Each structure stands twice: as structure tokens, then as C-alpha cells.
Structure 1
Amino acid sequence: MTGRDDGDWLEFTAELLREPLTELPLDRVTRLLQETFEAPAVGTAELAADGTADGEIYPLDATLEGHREDMLTWSASHAVENPIARYFLATADVRPVQLADVPGRFTDRRVYGEGAALAQACGVAEQLCLPTGGADHPRLLVVGRPEVFSPSELRLADRIWRLVVGLDRQARAYSAALRNASASGRDVASAIRLTPRERSVLGLLAEGLTAGAIARRLNIAERTVHKHLERCYSKLGVADRLTAVLAAQRLGLVAA
């Protein structure tokens, strides 16, 4: 039995989409993951090309049976030895996976023995990973607890992963839209009540992306993109994508 369900995550996502997010709020996302899977902690790891990782353990007051600092130190220089990370880097499979289901060729204890012992001592021997960021910005959200995750929990994790990936892409797109907008453009966006999602869609439209490409970038349905565009057109007082881009450039909403 999980502590949270789809309804909680849909409500959470709806709340976040009303906010001008420029990055994924890891403290809030990991807290809900922790509650959903009744886990003592959730770790994050942004993997670098040199094999190191920049990460954190949430909640920030999680002691991990007194081994929190040991786990942070180990993860900083040995995260890629974790079988989940090895599997992710070798296969580029970006879907959720739990440690118990990682193929045997990635679970050699000669590589991960020290990490496995530490995870056991921390009470997070079983781990479920939700990758975000894509191949160019790989970041792993790892839910740790003593028990293996059940089939129903894995199905829920897959649905949650889709929402989190969508939120992450939305935040990145909105951040890019803000970087490309002038200071006056940000004021205009506020004045005409463009939402963060509408600004993200408008920014990607200005980059030359089609509605289908925008949908794939933001992990939403193409018909949803068209609805956002219709609202953008209405707020800008235009009737087509070319005029919308020109108007957005004139108002400083996107780079010319």
C-alpha cells in the first residue's frame, strides 16, 4: 500500500503548472515521492562525464541510520558504480527501474560491494530510479527503502515518472523563454496574462518548432499545444503562428 496515489500527483502537478517554475522543485518532488512509497529518503544525482555526481539526499534531515554523510561522500565519487547508474549509462533507457530488476551484468558486487553494504546500513538497500533531464542532462531521482517495490508500485512509478519528466521539461522551456525575453517582455507577459506554459510554447514556436515537436519537447499532447497556441493568439490579438512570433518579438517576449 502506498501513502499517495495518482490523484495526489495530478493535484500536485496542477499546482506546479500554475507557478512560474524555472527548475524542477526537487525538495517538493522528492517529499511527495518519499510519502508515496513510504521511503526514508530520496536521493538525487546529476551524472557528469568524468564519473562524478552532484547530488543531495532528501529530506535534508534524513539521518540514514547515522550514515548520511558517508552516503553523500560515496555518491559524489562512486555514483556510477551503482547498478542503476551503470544500467542507465550503458543503455540510455530513461524509464523507471528498480535495483532488483537491473540485469545481472550490471550488478557485479566486485564493483558495487562497498556501495551495497552502505545502502544496507542506511536502510535503503532497495532502490527505485526515475531518470529525468534526458541524455544531455542526466539526473536520477532514487527512492530508497528496505523493501522491494511491488508490481503495482512500479506501475504507479511509471505514471509518476511521466508527470515529473513533463514538469522538468516545462521548467527548462520556461527558463529558456525567460532568458530569451527582454525585461520589458517579461512585464508584457504579466500584463497580458500569459501563463508559464503558454510562454514556453510561444518560445518554442519562435525557435521554429512545429506543434508536434513542441508536444514532444514538453511531453504533452499535440492537441494541448494547439489549445495553448489558440490562447496565445487570442492574448496577442493575432490569428496565425507567423504573426504571433512577429508580435512576440516586437513585444520582447522572445528574442528577435
Structure 2
Amino acid sequence: MTGTAAQLRRMRDLAVQIMHERDPDALHTLVLAELLRACDAEAAVCKEGDWQPDEGAMSIVTAPAARSVFDHPQARRLIRIGRPFAEHYASTGDSAPRQADALGRLHHLRDVRRFTPGGRFAFGIPLPGVHSPVRGYILFRPDAVFGPATLSYGVEVQPLLVAVDRQRVLLSQWRAGSADVSSGCHDCRAPVPADAAPYGLTPRETTVLLLLADALTATAIGRRLGITARTVNKHIERIYRKLGTRDRLSTVHRARLSGLLSTPCPSHRESRELRTAL
């Protein structure tokens, strides 16, 4: 087995493991640690939005020797600016993984490494979708370009990263539904969503249930989650069995009555739709 094939197998195995993780905040750390190892990088960053230089959340995993470098405020500012990735992905609609040096030449930037902490080499893997086009992962190395093998790995692993991210977004949405109701909003018309564990629902089944509540077909759910319609139908069958229902309508109704799903109030519905649009 080639090195790239072995790395892909590790990420696939990790993706399967992640589908059983109930904490959406833990997913980034698991993926970043694997990207750091697979790409022989010094630091791996997940960028979650079209950020300003001095604000915006991000997740960073570093090798121990590089921790102090990437903890520095100026380093984090450079990462948030995201050059040349932010400019390229925002202006072109491109969604392919790219090396920073290659983008620098494409956009006539004389020294792209001055936009990275300590003049490091950088490699970006965007997460395609309707979210900000600079959303995705950036890897850093101090002393060597990311070569063809890493580029090939990035292309192959990108669909897995997208699927994991969609799982994280849906679990975060489910958690946010609980926060909206428990915050005391008088317009929310459902009990606080219960933990799915007593019903035996896995995190993956929970995300499928969320999309069922949005009246999506199995094919549409599959596109959202990066799986086949046949796999979606298997999840749906298990959800029916665990909730003791026979069809989608009764399943969503029972899930709402039991607190597994909340009904967002009008003030929250628009933001919820924006969060879940993929």
C-alpha cells in the first residue's frame, strides 16, 4: 500500500469514528491532529469563516516545538487574514486544495510567505459549499513545500472533510436548539431537546433525523451528508425502529413531542436556515 493510500485509509477510519462522536466541538481537534500527522505539517488550522484580522474563532493543533510560535497574537492575525487563500477562493469560486506558493505566483504576489507565521510554507484545503469560500483547513511547514503527494492527498481527503464538517454543523445546530429554548425565549414552542442517547440514536442518526424534520428526501439528505440514499434509508429505518414509528411524519412528530427536536421561533428560524444551508 502506498503512503497516500495508507493516509487515506486512516482518515476514512477516523471519519467513521467521528460519526459516533456526540460532541461537535471535538470533531475539529480529531481531524486537525490527523491532518498534521498525515501531511507532516508543523501546524494545522481550521478556519470557520470570512474573518477579520483581529477576531474570529479558529481551531489550531501544532507540534509541541511550534506551539509558542502559533500562540503569538501576530501569528494568529496572519492566519485570520488568510492570504493568499482568502483572496483566491473568494474571487474565483475555485474549491480545489492549493499550495500558497502556487497561488502567490497565480496572483502575482512576490513573497507569499510574508503572509504566514515565520515565513512558513502553507497548504489550503477549502470546504466547498454556500458558506464563506475561505472556510476550510490550512497546514503549515517551516522548511519544505507541500509536494505532489500532499496535493493528491488533499484532493482525495477533501470529500471526507466536507462530510465531517456537515456532521459537525448539524450536531451544533441540534445543540443550539437546546440553547435557544433553555435561554428562556418565550416564542420557542417545544421542550428542551433531550439527549438522544436514551432513545438509542447515534450521532449520525440524530443528524439524519434533523434533516428529516426539514422534509428532505433521502437523496437530498445523502447529498448533505456525503452518503448514498441507500445508506440514508438504512438510518431512517433504524430511527423508525428506535422511536417506534412507521413513517416520516409520525417520526418527526414524536421526536418533537419527546424533545429530540425543537421548533425554532420566528426570530431564530432564519439564522437556523443559514446555519444548515450546505
TM-score (norm 1): 0.81
1:16 corresponds in structure 2 to: 18
Asked if 1 retains the 8 angstrom alpha-carbon contact of 2:21 and 2:27, the reply is no
Q: Structure 2, unaligned stretches of length 5 or more? A: 179-189, 264-278
Q: Which amino acid aligns with 1:218?
A: L
The percent identity for this pair of structures is 28
Asked if 2 retains the 8 angstrom alpha-carbon contact of 1:41 and 1:62, the reply is no
Give the alignment of 1:79-98 within 5 angstroms.
Answer: 79-80=81-82, 82-98=83-99
Give the alignment of 1:22-41 within 5 angstroms.
Answer: 22-23=24-25, 25-41=27-43
TM-score (norm 2): 0.75
CA distance in 2, matches of 1:49, 1:106: 21
Deviations 1:40-99 (CA, angstroms, capped at 9, x unpaired): 2223334436566634542274437957624224334xx24x122211111232332222
Deviations 1:84-143 (CA, angstroms, capped at 9, x unpaired): 221111123233222244374424228x47326x543xxx22x22112374425423111
1:179 corresponds in structure 2 to: 176
CA distance in 2, matches of 1:62, 1:247: 52
Q: Runs ≥4 in structure 1, deviation > 6 angstroms? A: none
CA distance in 1, matches of 2:231, 2:197: 22
CA distance in 2, matches of 1:18, 1:66: 34
Give aligned pairs, total: 246
1:153 corresponds in structure 2 to: 150
Structure 1 range deviating more: 101-110 or 152-161:
101-110
In the TM superposition, residue 202 of structure 1 has moved relative to its aligned partner by 0.7
Asked if 2 retains the 8 angstrom alpha-carbon contact of 1:4 and 1:37, the reply is no
CA distance in 1, matches of 2:65, 2:174: 36
2:107 corresponds in structure 1 to: 106
Cα gap change, 1:226 to 1:67, in 2 (>3 Å): closer
2:266 corresponds in structure 1 to: none
Q: Structure 1, unaligned stretches of length 5 or more? A: none
1:129 corresponds in structure 2 to: 124
